[in-house]
A and B are shown apart, each in its own frame.
Chain A
Amino acid sequence: DAGVIQSPRHEVTEMGQEVTLRCKPISGHNSLFWYRQTMMRGLELLIYFNNNVPIDDSGMPEDRFSAKMPNASFSTLKIQPSEPRDSAVYFCASSFRQGLAYTFGSGTRLTVV
């Protein structure tokens, strides 16, 4: 298996622009997680899905953030409009089901200028 695939690896955008991050989980994994990593706050869970259904989005910082999982093999995290404080590394992870081992993607390093 190719593992969890995220794109793009790096994204530089101007403040106010829309940003879309993409994730392809491991085939057969039923749980998908979006995390954000910053120096100040470490790794924070933003939202997770079980069987394509959003279960807990309490970590999503503001209404500017939204996430979708239209099918079992694809998820997006969208920021609109983006702000400099959104600069971080965004990780996607998947697991066979919640409560089991997680596999992380390589992350997307987002810089908003």
Chain B
Amino acid sequence: NAGVMQNPRHLVRRRGQEARLRCSPMKGHSHVYWYRQLPEEGLKFMVYLQKENIIDESGMPKERFSAEFPKEGPSILRIQQVVRGDSAAYFCASSPFPGQGALGYTFGSGTRLTVV
């Protein structure tokens, strides 16, 4: 059981470039959640996806940010034209169907994005 896999662990981008963050959920998990965390701050919800569907994107900026979770392959968080304020740790979590049973969400190790 490999857990939630995120890559890359560290990503450096120049202002104006694109950042692509990948998240492979645990085996058997079909729900994925993305969070952003600034240093010494909490976990800010961004987007909640199920296979091929966006369930809730209320925490994601309307511009430059997008997320997908295709039928095959990992979930992708894409940030276009990055700015210094995008520098943060981005965590992905996954769960099986959350409406059944007392199951927590499993987090990946995160991607630390630095915009220079």
User: Do A and B form a real pair?
Assistant: no
Q: What is A's interface to B at a CB cutoff of 8 Å?
A: none
